[in-house]
Amino acid sequence: MEAAVKRALGTNVFKPTGSGGGGCISKGSSYFTDKGTVFVKSNFKNGAKGMFNGEKVGLDAITATSSIRCPKAIAVVTIDDSNPLAALVMENLEMGYSKGSTQAKLGEQLAKMHLHNKMLLEEKETDNCGCVRKTGEEEIDFQIPVTKFGFYVPTSCGFISQENNWRDNWATFYVEEKLQPNIDILNEKKLDKQLNELWPPCRTKILETLQKLGKIVPALLHGDLWSGNIASVDGEPVIFDPASFYGHSEYDFGIARMFGGFTSDFFKAYHKVIPKASGFEQRLDMYELYHHINHWVHFGSSYRGSSLDLMRRIANS
């Protein structure tokens, strides 16, 4: 992989700095090159290239909004078609904890990111639309607004691919593109009687509730905005490890609430830009549900109880 990264970057120097990071999905390390220090995430599983393609496009899309900082993506690197090993090379940032005034800036800047597509739609009167599928290796014009829900490429929340097929309707997209695929994966692993009793009424309630929202302008989302994916650099907020798509702006709060780590300053600053709408808390249950089910898929039955409890609460709300 070292040789492949050196070729992709056009560098003669590729030396570990001795610092690294990563999580339960991929490992990461920083390297000195003759073009500066870079951070490299790598993964050897089948599908790693697609996962990193999706992350790169998400980082590119966030960067293009000029609203909130994220690491600039440089390249997705592979060895050859017979080897699943892949890597994502990106800007190396010396990150610190997000706290204090950084949280308020994070809320304000996240809201501006969520509003970016709306701003493009208001500025550009065109019949053209950015709602097209890409390979991840094609050039994307992120300044063309989108009018549908989905994304240019599949992305991954964890290691599970989200197809993100464009849909005209948010409620349909959320149920069919986000929730149902993970329900199907769980049933493929092992049929769960309680899951299959609770899912139909829960599904119906989600569709009914989200349909009542009326017109929703698609917002660019981070998609996996938990406290482990936020930081600060030189007093400015940074977000990373996105699982991006265009959806309802409130969706990003689902996992934020699930794991906590966001201060009241964050929420106040966000809602000063995008006021909290009626029914917000009820919808957060629905958006948090995806992440409980996704964690059940990734990490097993320790998330079964919380998933079923949320489904029961939603169905009875």
Residue with tokens 């590729």: 14
Q: Which one from 224, 241, 252, 265 is the annotated catalytic residue?
A: 224
Tokens of 61: 């899309």
Burial class (CB in 10 A: 0-12, 13-18, 19+), 118: middle
Angle between helices 193-211 and 180-189 (to 10 degrees): 180
5-13 long-range Cβ contacts below 8 angstroms, 24+ apart:
5/31, 5/40, 5/77, 5/87, 5/89, 8/75, 8/77, 8/89, 9/33, 9/35, 9/38, 9/74, 9/75, 9/89, 10/35, 11/35
Check the CA dihedral 247-281-260-294 and report its sign.
negative
| CA–CA dist 94, 185 (Å, integer) | 37
The yes-or-no answer on residue 192 being catalytic is no
Active site residues: 224
